[in-house]
A and B are shown apart, each in its own frame.
Chain A
Amino acid sequence: MAVEILTVDDTYQFGLVAKYLARDDRSPRHDYGQLTGDPRAAILEAWRFPWVDAWFDPDDTAQRFNAVTFVHAADNGQPGASVQIIGSFGELHTPISLVPLADTHYSTLTLKIPKGEVHVYRMRIDGVWQIDPINPQRVALDNGAIWSRMFTWGATQRLSLERWEARLLERLASHILPFQTTDGKTFFSRVHNAQGPANRPPHAYRLDETIGAVNFIDKLLAREEAHHLIDYRICLELIDQLLRARNPVTEPARLPREMIIELYTQMGSGNVPGWNYGRYGNPRYFLQLLRRHTLTGAFSHPRYGGNAMALGWKYLEERYRDATGATLFDWARAIEPPLGRSPAYRG
Chain B
Amino acid sequence: MDTFDVIIIGSGAGGAPIARQLALAGKSVLVLDKGPLLRTQAEHPLGVSDFKRDELFATGAEKRLTLTGIANQNEAFYSSHVEPDLNDEPHIYEGADGLDRATIEGYTAQLVGGGTQLYGAVSLRFSDLDFRLASFNSNRGDLVNDPNNDVKRYARDWPISYADLEPYYSEAERLIGINGTRANQGKAFSIDNYQTPYPPNPISAYVEVGMDALGMPRYRTPLAVITQDHAPSGRVMPPGSEPAKTAYVNRYGDPLGLKSNTWVALLRPLMALPNFTLRANCVVTHLEASGDKISKLVYRDAAGRAIEVAGTLVVVACSAIESVRLLKLSAERDPAFGARIDGNNLLGRYFLTHCFGGAEAIMPGRFDKSVSLDSDWATDACASADFIQANGVWAGGAIYNNTSDQALPISLARTHGSQDLDTIWKSFIDDTGLTGDALNSFFDDNFGTRLSVSFIANQVPLPTNRIELHPTIRDKWGRRVAHIRKIWHSHDIHLMNVFAEQCRRVLAFGGDGGVGNYQVNEFGAIYSAENARARIANHILGGARFGTDPADSVLDPNCRAWNFDNLFVTDGSFMPTAGGANPTLTIQANALRVADHLLTRL
Contact = CB atoms under 8 A, between A and B. Distances in A.
B370 interface: yes
Interface centre among A28, A268, A292 (most CB of B within 10 A): A292
B436 A299 contact: no
Contacts of A8: 45-46
B85 A44 contact: yes
Contact of B54 (A23, A287, A301, A333): A301
Interface residues of B, number: 76
Interface string A263-288: 01001100000000000000010011
A296 B41 CA distance: 26
Nearest to A265: B433
Nearest to B407: A329
Given A18-B281, A181-B440, A343-B239, A292 B371 contact: no
Interface stretch (A170-178, A193-201, A245-253): A170-178
A75 interface: no
A346 B48 contact: yes
Nearest to A178: B440
B37 A177 contact: no
B46 A55 contact: yes
Interface residues of A, number: 83
Contacts of B440: 178, 181, 183-184
A180 B243 CA distance: 36
Interface string A122-137: 0000000000000000
Given A54-B48, A334-B370, A18 B36 contact: yes
A227 B64 contact: yes
Interface stretch (B20-28, B211-219, B470-478, B550-558): B470-478
Given A17-B302, A23-B476, A30 B66 contact: yes
Interface stretch (A91-99, A154-162, A236-244, A312-320): A312-320
B88 interface: yes
Interface string A293-305: 0011001110110
B256 interface: yes
B443 interface: yes
A322 B56 CA distance: 29
Given A14-B36, A19-B36, A220-B61, A9 B45 contact: yes
A233 interface: no
A24 B38 contact: no
Interface in A1-35: 6-9, 11-12, 14-15, 17-19, 22-25, 28-32
B17 interface: no
Contacts of A316: 409, 443, 447
A202 B241 CA distance: 34
Contact of A344 (B55, B240, B302): B240
A261 interface: yes
Interface in A97-116: 104-106
A18 B88 CA distance: 13
A188 interface: no
Please report whether the interface of chain B is mostly helix, strand, loop or mixed according to DSSP. loop
Contacts of A14: 36, 280-281, 302
B436 A261 contact: yes
A312 B409 contact: yes
Nearest to B76: A32
Contacts of A177: 436, 439
A288 B433 CA distance: 10
A167 interface: no
A335 B428 CA distance: 26
Contact of A25 (B246, B367, B478): B478
Contacts of A58: 47
Contact of B448 (A304, A328, A342, A345): A328
Nearest to B67: A29
A6 B54 CA distance: 24
B35 interface: yes
A84 B478 CA distance: 33
Contacts of A334: 53, 246-248, 370
A44 B435 contact: no
A53 B46 contact: yes
Contacts of A24: 304, 476-478
Given A180-B436, A225-B62, A292 B428 contact: yes
B304 A22 contact: yes
Contacts of A342: 240, 243
B197 to A, nearest CB: 19
A14 B436 CA distance: 44
A22 B428 CA distance: 35
Interface centre among A6, A11, A56, A77 (most CB of B within 10 A): A11
Contact of A328 (B36, B88, B367): B367
Contacts of B35: 19
A331 B238 CA distance: 19
Contacts of B333: none
Contacts of A11: 37, 39, 280
Interface in B354-394: 366-368, 370-371
A261 B39 contact: no
B417 interface: no
B529 interface: no
Given A54-B48, A316-B443, A104 B437 contact: no
A224 interface: yes
A320 to B, nearest CB: 6
Contacts of B38: 15
Contact of B435 (A19, A264, A300): A264
A322 B474 CA distance: 54
Contact of B429 (A17, A45, A288, A304): A288
Interface of A: 6-9, 11-12, 14-15, 17-19, 22-25, 28-32, 44-45, 53-58, 67, 77, 104-106, 175-178, 180-181, 183-184, 220, 224-225, 227-228, 261, 264, 267-268, 284, 287-288, 291-292, 295-296, 299-301, 303-304, 312-313, 316, 319-320, 322, 327-331, 333-336, 342-347
Given A14-B280, A300-B410, A334-B246, 11 more contacts: A8-B45, A23-B476, A24-B478, A25-B475, A28-B66, A225-B61, A264-B435, A316-B447, A330-B368, A346-B47, A347-B52
27 contacts: A8-B45, A8-B46, A11-B39, A14-B280, A15-B37, A25-B476, A30-B87, A44-B87, A55-B46, A56-B47, A176-B435, A180-B436, A181-B437, A225-B62, A295-B439, A299-B408, A299-B413, A301-B54, A301-B56, A303-B54, A322-B366, A328-B448, A330-B371, A333-B246, A344-B256, A345-B255, A346-B48
